[in-house]
Amino acid sequence: MTDSSAYQQKKAFFDNLLTIYGRKPVLEALQDNSLNIYKLHLADSNKAGGIVAEIVALAEQRQIEIQWHDRKALSRISRNSKQDQGVAADIQVAKHQSVDEFIHHRKPDQPFNLIALDSITNPQNLGMIIRSVCAGSVDGLIIPRKGCAALSPLVIKASVGTLFKTRLLHCDDLATALQELKQQQTSICTLSSHAKQSLFDYKPKQSVVYVLGNETEGVSANISKIADQQLRIPMNNGVESLNVAITAALIAFRQ
């Protein structure tokens, strides 16, 4: 195996890891035998007994590696020192990957439909979007690592556990990812109340990404410049717009 292929394999492995934090979320994950937990991280400042003892016992029972850290190191792993409660876990989620990996492994003759998020900051909205994507007919959800709500316990709760079943495609920068997808003959669509064409009349003949913008500001200017098409959802009775999670559901179940 070459150094390059070994690096790609290692990168793909870590792209499939989802780090969760908090005592109750980690305990619930350990209790779910369908989840493949790679490693448990604990702060050495945790007091023995209680829920921490339950977590340790379950990890040992499942033969999961346990690593102990000082409080500062644990907070670097969880990326949320205020809410991690000294506990984090890495979960291997096969359907979580990078946009680059998705592009590399896709079959060119099979068009796909994706939803992409541009600065969705409300954890409740993000969780409900993930749930709709999991239940609907789209092929995945693009979530930038920066600018969107983190995959926190609130998101896991709002997704009702579907976070672990949904194809999530990560990228560092949404604009760059969309440009890469455009090079693969993918149409980029944004939703706007000012658009002329209805979402329900749009019949793409190739792969398409539907971009949903921030709850308050909508789609950002740099993403709008990349888009090929603007679509609207027809409204009645003077209603101006829908919650972004509702919009995602309409797209996810659109045939």
Domains of the chain (ranges plus CATH)? 17-92 (3.30.1330.30), 96-252 (3.40.1280.10)
pLDDT in tens, 145-185: 999 999 999 999 999 999 999 999 999 999 999 999 999 99
End-to-end Cα separation, the chain, in angstroms: 43
**Token pair of 216 as six digits:** 């308050």
- Which residues on neighbouring strands pair with residue 19, listed in sequence order? 90
Task: Please report, for residues 19, 194, 233, the alpha-carbon distance to residue 190 in angstroms, rounded to integers and kept in the order given.
Answer: 30, 11, 11
Percent of the chain with pLDDT over 90: 86
Distance CA 89, CA 20 (A): 5
pTM here is: 0.91
* DSSP string across 149-206: ----HHHHHHTTTGGGTS-EEEES-HHHHHHHHHTTT-EEEEE-TT-SEEGGG---SS
Instruction: List the structure tokens of 82.
Output: 């205020």
pLDDT digits (tens, 9 = 90+) for 2-61: 666 676 777 778 888 999 999 999 999 999 999 999 999 999 999 989 999 999 999 999
**pLDDT of 1 above 70:** no
Contacts (Cβ under 8 Å, ≥6 apart) of 143: 117, 126, 151, 168, 169, 170, 171
